[in-house]
Amino acid sequence: MSGVVIIGAGHAGSQLAVSLRAEGYAGAVTLIDASDALPYHKPPLSKTFLKDPTALPQPLRAAAAYEAAGVLRRRGIVTAIDTAARVVTVDGEALGYDDLILATGARNRMLPELQGAENVHSLRDLADAERLRAALAGADRVTVIGGGFIGLESAAALAGMGKSVTVLEAAPRVLARVAAPETSARVQAVLAGLGVILRTGFMAQGYRRDGARVTAVTGAEGEIPCDLILVGIGAAADTALARASGIACNQGILTDGHLRTSAPHVWAIGDVAETPHWQADAALRVESVQNATDQARHLARTLSGAETDPFRSVPWFWSDIGPLKLQIAGLSVKADRRVVRDDGARLAVFHLAGNRLVSLESLNSPADHMIARQLLEAGRTPPEAVMQDSPAALKAWLQG
């Protein structure tokens, strides 16, 4: 049968499977995943799903959409790739391919000292979220280790459920790797208003245990008792299968601009792919729904013969932290200064490299975000006075 075989039915793999057919690809399409759940949206898992004991996973698309596109969904774990023979091993069985797509995503990092403890959780997939949600019923004091997106979204959700929540962050501010100091300050203030205790600059020195449970985290200033710990310290690309198959990897699976790996007829997309980025002049791994779906759509066009250009899109991302909608357009890696507009309710942080706009972070200002995406797409930078004025002024300048 051969055709296209996709490993991983997350946001990237699922999109690719249906887009291939939409682009006119005529061969067989097989979508393999370790889970037999209908592919689902991951973002709600750290937002609404925890709060509602009756909430169900939200499918990316109905089962009928895969059937209509002639996509064969198969539950299984791929354990080996023979890139010379163009064959994968799935649950011990050989499956040939014409083109193979690695969309294996990322796995959460875990603190080795906490590995296996009964009341320690992390959040990556539906099984994690269901386990966490069940455990929350018997937990009042929750300690979140890590002040990144998933940790903070969960902290806000848990505070909203009446839990006593403490966030421990080693850096001097939350979101330090991904957001400007002004954004971190606003997020911290809003979380504090929700009753979340934030301990920044906190280095865990040890853990108190009672059998298989961790009952407190110890730092320089004493102990923080807890009933449950949620570890949110980031994720690493799931490259194990690629590495074992001799495919070149760095932090992720290395690809060229067309999403092609070092092995012939093998491609990588989504969280796992480390791809040259037009805004960074370097290869990067981008963890976002937009990146996963845009790369999938691009690869579907490439494999169907409709696309010959390298992948290029304006990256964007969102995070819902309690009442805050944080949105980021563009990459700020090359920025050297910023322009800040803060009207109390909405915040916009424009990142510039020299005189060029490269990214915008906004809080509760979707209009700014949408305009920034258009500005970045067009490669245009408004005057500073316009950035500092209002979303309406930005829009008028863009359309003027």
Ligand X SMILES: Cc1cc2nc3c(=O)[nH]c(=O)nc-3n(C[C@H](O)[C@H](O)[C@H](O)COP(=O)(O)OP(=O)(O)OC[C@H]3O[C@@H](n4cnc5c(N)ncnc54)[C@H](O)[C@@H]3O)c2cc1C
Residues near ligand X, by CB under 6 A: 7-13, 32-35, 42-43, 45-46, 77-78, 103-106, 123-124, 150, 238, 241, 270-272, 287-290, 292, 317-319
User: How far from the centroid of its chain's Cα atoms is residue 368's Cα?
Assistant: 22
Distance between CA atoms of residues 264 and 285, nearest Å: 21
Where is 361: in which H helix or E strand?
strand 356-363
Q: How far is the CB of 153 from ligand X (least distance, A)?
A: 7
User: How far from the centroid of its chain's Cα atoms is residue 273's Cα?
Assistant: 12
Distance between CA atoms of residues 169 and 204, nearest Å: 9
Nearer to ligand X among residue 103 and residue 191 (C-beta): 103
Nearer to ligand X among residue 329 and residue 387 (C-beta): 329
Both tokens assigned to 243: 């590495």
Cα diameter, the chain = 67
Q: How far is the CB of 205 from ligand X (least distance, A)?
A: 28
Q: How far is the CB of 99 from ligand X (least distance, A)?
A: 17
By CB atoms closer than 10 A (0-12, 13-18, 19+), residue 243 is exposed
Q: How far is the CB of 310 from ligand X (least distance, A)?
A: 19
Residue type, 357: L
Residue 370: phi and psi, rounded to 5, are: -65, -40
Both tokens assigned to 310: 């390298």
Q: How far is the CB of 201 from ligand X (least distance, A)?
A: 25
Nearer to ligand X among residue 157 and residue 224 (C-beta): 157
On whether the CB atoms of residues 370 and 331 are closer than 8 A, the answer is: no
Nearer to ligand X among residue 150 and residue 229 (C-beta): 150
Cβ neighbour number for residue 339 with a 10 Å cutoff: 17
Q: How far is the CB of 296 from ligand X (least distance, A)?
A: 8
Q: Which residues pair with 342 in a beta bridge?
A: 347
Label the pairing between strands 356-363 and 347-353: antiparallel
Cβ neighbour number for residue 50 with a 10 Å cutoff: 23
Nearer to ligand X among residue 35 and residue 388 (C-beta): 35
Q: How far is the CB of 33 from ligand X (least distance, A)?
A: 5
Nearer to ligand X among residue 22 and residue 392 (C-beta): 22
Nearer to ligand X among residue 10 and residue 391 (C-beta): 10
